[in-house]
């Protein structure tokens, strides 16, 4: 790869996992920052806003600015500002809702139904209402496509499972925003003001982090931690480097600077 000038980090599974900080992770970021690398932290979290995600990372020892963090909820709000919808029904909870305060929320006749992690309201009544609205002409946006998740502990259905169910039932295809889709990478790279060939992505999941980097055309590092699983080796995505810990990252990146 060409001289590395920037890094796009996944968060859950690379820097932290299930509320634990991986050993040496804050120090690795400090080392890379000291070497002049531009960093962004791109996560498929929808429950967190950019502000709350950055604040949480600072609480556990990372020196990270709000502007360096890109959550799926933040990116979805950016996408909506670009397309300027008449109205939206944002199915989401916790701090991620902060990102959507400037939109016209309409639960009766929204132009777009926007789905993040709305776990307390993924029930028969709400999903049935969403289905009927889609059949009547509403459009569908999924913040992320992932079907399952373990970052909060137990194996859980993730946002993509609910969105895909509504796609199948309504016949309305969803627009997805988060990794591995291009919008997430396009905006992140633009915010870094770097050429694609000068940036490397670091993640633990083949289907999102590695596939997304492959599709977007940037080099990538697979960390065998977090949600990495050996059976993922059969995935069609291909990392440029494979490491067992983030502590091995400087040996790759600083050799390429």
This prediction's pTM: 0.90
- State in words which class domain 85-176 has: alpha beta
List, for residues 199-221, the tens digit of each pLDDT value.
Answer: 999 998 888 889 999 999 999 99
Q: What is the C-alpha separation between 49 and 47, in angstroms, rounded? A: 7
Q: What is the C-alpha separation between 209 and 133, in angstroms, rounded? A: 32
**pLDDT reading at 236 higher than 80:** no
Task: Output the pLDDT for position 157.
Answer: 86
Q: What is the C-alpha separation between 89 and 108, in angstroms, rounded? A: 8
Where do you find CATH 3.40.50.1000 in the chain?
A: 6-44+179-256, 85-176
- State in words which class domain 6-44+179-256 has: alpha beta
**pLDDT reading at 139 higher than 60:** yes
List, for residues 19-53, the tens digit of each pLDDT value.
Answer: 788 889 999 999 999 999 999 999 999 999 999 99
| Residue 30 CB neighbours (<10 A) | 13
Q: What is the C-alpha separation between 57 and 50, in angstroms, rounded? A: 11
Query: Cis bond leading into 163, ω under 30°?
Result: no
Burial 188-225 (b: 16+ CB within 10 A, else e): bbeebebeeebbbbbbbbbbbbbbbbbebebbbbbbeb
Structure tokens at 30: 């400090």
Q: What is the C-alpha separation between 193 and 236, in angstroms, rounded? A: 29
Structure tokens at 20: 């634990």
225-244: average pLDDT = 72
List, for residues 60-86, the tens digit of each pLDDT value.
Answer: 999 999 999 999 999 999 999 999 999
| Beta strands 20-21; 38-43: pairing state | unpaired
Structure tokens at 161: 């499972």
Strand partners, 115: 91, 142
Structure tokens at 201: 């992505």
| Residue 246 CB neighbours (<10 A) | 23
């Amino acid at each position: 790869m060409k001289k590395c000038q920037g890094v796009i980090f996944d968060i859950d599974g690379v820097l932290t996992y299930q509320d634990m900080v991986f050993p040496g992770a804050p120090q690795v970021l400090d080392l890379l920052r000291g070497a002049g690398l531009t960093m962004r932290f791109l996560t498929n979290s929808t429950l967190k806003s950019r502000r709350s995600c950055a604040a949480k990372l600072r609480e556990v020892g990372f020196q990270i600015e709000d502007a360096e963090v890109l959550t799926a909820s933040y990116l979805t709000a950016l996408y909506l500002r670009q397309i300027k919808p008449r109205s939206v029904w944002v199915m989401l909870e916790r701090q991620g809702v902060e990102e959507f305060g400037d939109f016209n929320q309409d639960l009766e006749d929204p132009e777009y139904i926007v789905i993040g992690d709305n776990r307390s309201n993924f029930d028969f009544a709400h999903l049935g209402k969403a289905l009927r609205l889609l059949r009547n002409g509403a459009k569908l946006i999924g913040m992320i496509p992932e079907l399952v998740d373990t970052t909060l502990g137990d194996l859980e259905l993730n946002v993509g499972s609910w969105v895909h169910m509504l796609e199948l039932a309504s016949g309305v295809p969803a627009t997805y925003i988060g990794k591995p889709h291009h919008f997430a990478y396009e905006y992140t790279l633009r915010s870094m003001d770097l050429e694609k060939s000068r940036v490397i992505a670091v993640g633990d999941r083949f289907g999102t982090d590695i596939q997304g980097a492959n599709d977007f055309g940037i080099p990538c590092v697979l960390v065998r931690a977090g949600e990495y699983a050996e059976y993922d080796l059969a995935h069609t995505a291909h990392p440029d480097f494979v490491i067992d810990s983030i502590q091995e990252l400087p040996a790759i990146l600083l050799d390429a600077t």
